[in-house]
Amino acid sequence: MKLITSRDNPIFRHLVKLKGSARQRRTAGQTLLDGAHLVSDYNLVLGPAESLVVSEAGSAIAEIKQLLAEHARRGGGDVAMLSDALFREISPVTTPSGVMALIPIPPPETIPFHQSKSGFCVLLEAMQDPGNVGSILRSAAAAGASKIYMSDGCADAWAPKTLRAAMGAHFLLRIYERSDLVEVARTFKGRVVASTLKAKNSLYQLRLTGPTAFVFGSEGTGLSEAMLQASTEQVTIPMPGGMESLNAAAAAAVCFFEKVRQIKTEACNS
């Protein structure tokens, strides 16, 4: 591996653009995975990355050495080594992991379909915080979701910060960005459950064992009137402690695992 130390290097300049620009990621059809865990998850599902990028310090870490060896064994693409200073500039975290992967953004249909007994889908409307989006994807994958639909105005699903927050969920879910959520809701064959503070009915009063689409809105303004009208159910999460609201990712996790709980309870009672 040749050590890259110049900011004028074309590889480094391309990586900087991918880190900072959703438009550049869409144009190139590529994104960056940060950290050995994410890179390994990608390898398991979709094969070796187009290329790996390691820092000078990261190349001496045992876990990263093993990852590099596996990458070579499976016929992965080129490996670039950046000086520690340059690697810090493309890292999405304060303490760099030492390894990143350059990958093509996979079309939803290339993600293996995992339909569990708790299978459901999630609709996100204008949710702008990449950390919240990533956390919701992570909880959705853990609870057995199958598909994610995201409207215009949502944070980029394939931004490095979203990917890092999701911790590999992207490779277990089929993610459809820039979706017409009203149309998705209207054609969904099952309950379309909108989470809103304005609702009178509690989440825990609703039967969730059948096909379900959960709908969550913007952190600041909530769901649009059009999405509320397109839903079949509107629910709120009881908060006896007196807080006015939950973080969007926390509210989503409560909804997902209430569905899991109901399915498990029904299975035990049958």
pLDDT in tens, 110-146: 998 766 656 799 999 999 999 999 999 999 999 999 9
The Cα–Cα gap between 242 and 236 comes to 14
Average pLDDT over residues 26-55: 95
Q: Which pLDDT value is given to residue 26?
A: 95
Give the count of beta carbons closer than 10 Å to the beta carbon of residue 157.
24
pLDDT in tens, 135-181: 999 999 999 999 999 999 999 999 999 999 999 999 999 999 999 99
pLDDT in tens, 50-80: 999 999 999 999 999 999 999 999 999 999 9
The Cα–Cα gap between 253 and 261 comes to 12
Which residues, including other chains, have CB under 8 Å from residue 244's CB and lie 6 or more apart?
Answer: 197
Average pLDDT over residues 243-257: 92
Average pLDDT over residues 230-242: 92
The Cα–Cα gap between 111 and 150 comes to 17
Read off the pLDDT band of 183 (50, 70, 90).
very high
- Residue 118 has phi, psi (to 5 degrees) of -95, 15
Give the count of beta carbons closer than 10 Å to the beta carbon of residue 202.
11
Return the sign of the alpha-carbon dihedral for residues 118, 120, 124, 129: positive
Read off the pLDDT band of 4 (50, 70, 90).
very high
Select from 248, 226, 229 the least CA-distant residue to 237: 248
Of 238 and 116, more confident: 238
Amino acid type, 71: H
DSSP assignment, residue 108? G
Q: Which pLDDT value is given to residue 177?
A: 97
Select from 111, 191, 120 the least CA-distant residue to 149: 120
Q: Which pLDDT value is given to residue 129?
A: 95
